[in-house]
């Protein structure tokens, strides 16, 4: 089985390719932009992006969209995380969190897979955690330096790829995709 992952994000590619190869499955990258609609719903964003990728590249591919949902900020930045990171960055997010005691948050991921017939299946992963008061670590990307997943004392940016994949929202969603595909293959064969 060969899966194709459509992403221009090098960090996502590194995490996902490392995870999938551990299952003995080949993964290829399609380094292309796809339509990213503005929506409050990660699943909708991923589904539309997957259909756009299908029109360009055919089936047996997947896309991923993710966001950081901060409880004290009523879920902000959520699906707008990439834009918020580009505009106000980590320092801006921490400024919004100044004096906030409730620092709980969740990273959520939606992985949308399109089969050869254009049918879309979406798999969701979530990891709960806390927002730090200062950035820590040099790995990862986006808001990784300020997010500590529950069960760890380290931010995603302080972890290597394998350790992050043990906790991450993206890894959880990709594992759900892999379970689905492996179950489908075993029922066909």
C-alpha to C-alpha distances, 121 to 31, 49, 68, 110, 154, nearest whole angstrom: 21, 12, 22, 10, 33
The residues facing 176 across adjacent strands are none
Give the whole-number percent of the chain exceeding pLDDT 70. Answer: 99
Task: Please determine, for residue 122, whether its predicted confidence score (pLDDT) is greater than 90.
Answer: yes
State residue 2's pLDDT score: 87
**Of the residues 10, 41, 52, 65, which is catalytic?**
65
| 94 vs 88: CA distance, rounded Å | 10
Contact 42, 50 (CB under 8 A): no
Mean pLDDT of 139-166: 97
| Banded model confidence at residue 44, pLDDT cuts 50, 70, 90 | very high
Question: Is 10 a known active-site residue?
Answer: no
| 137 vs 157: CA distance, rounded Å | 5
SS3 state of residue 96 = helix
Mean pLDDT of 129-148: 97
The candidate with the shortest Cα–Cα distance to 4, out of 23, 30, 25, is: 30
Contact 89, 33 (CB under 8 A): no
| Banded model confidence at residue 82, pLDDT cuts 50, 70, 90 | very high
SS3 state of residue 69 = strand
State residue 189's pLDDT score: 63
The candidate with the shortest Cα–Cα distance to 156, out of 103, 109, 93, 107, is: 107
Give the whole-number percent of the chain exceeding pLDDT 90. Answer: 92
State residue 79's pLDDT score: 97
State residue 187's pLDDT score: 78
| Banded model confidence at residue 184, pLDDT cuts 50, 70, 90 | confident
What is the value of pTM for the model shown? Answer: 0.95
Mean pLDDT of 88-99: 98
Task: Please determine, for residue 174, whether its predicted confidence score (pLDDT) is greater than 80.
Answer: yes
Task: Please determine, for residue 23, whether its predicted confidence score (pLDDT) is greater than 90.
Answer: no
SS3 state of residue 121 = strand
Backbone angles phi, psi at 166, to 5 degrees: -70, -25
């Amino acid at each position: 089985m060969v899966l194709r992952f459509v992403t221009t994000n090098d960090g996502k590619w590194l995490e996902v390719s490392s995870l999938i190869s551990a299952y003995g499955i080949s993964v290829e990258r399609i380094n292309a932009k796809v339509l990213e609609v503005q929506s409050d719903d990660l699943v909708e964003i991923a589904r539309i992006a997957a259909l756009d990728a299908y029109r360009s590249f055919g089936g047996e591919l997947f896309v991923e969209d993710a966001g950081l949902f901060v409880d004290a900020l009523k879920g902000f930045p959520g699906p707008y995380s990439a834009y918020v990171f580009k505009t106000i960055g980590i320092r801006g997010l921490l400024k919004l969190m100044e004096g906030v005691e409730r620092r709980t948050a969740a990273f959520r991921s939606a992985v949308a897979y399109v089969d050869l017939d254009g049918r879309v299946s979406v798999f969701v992963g979530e990891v709960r955690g806390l927002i730090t008061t200062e950035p820590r670590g040099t790995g990862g990307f986006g808001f990784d330096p300020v997010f500590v997943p529950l069960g760890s004392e380290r931010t995603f940016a302080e972890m290597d790829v394998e350790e992050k994949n043990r906790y991450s929202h993206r890894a959880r969603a990709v594992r759900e995709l892999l379970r689905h595909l492996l179950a489908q293959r075993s029922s066909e064969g």
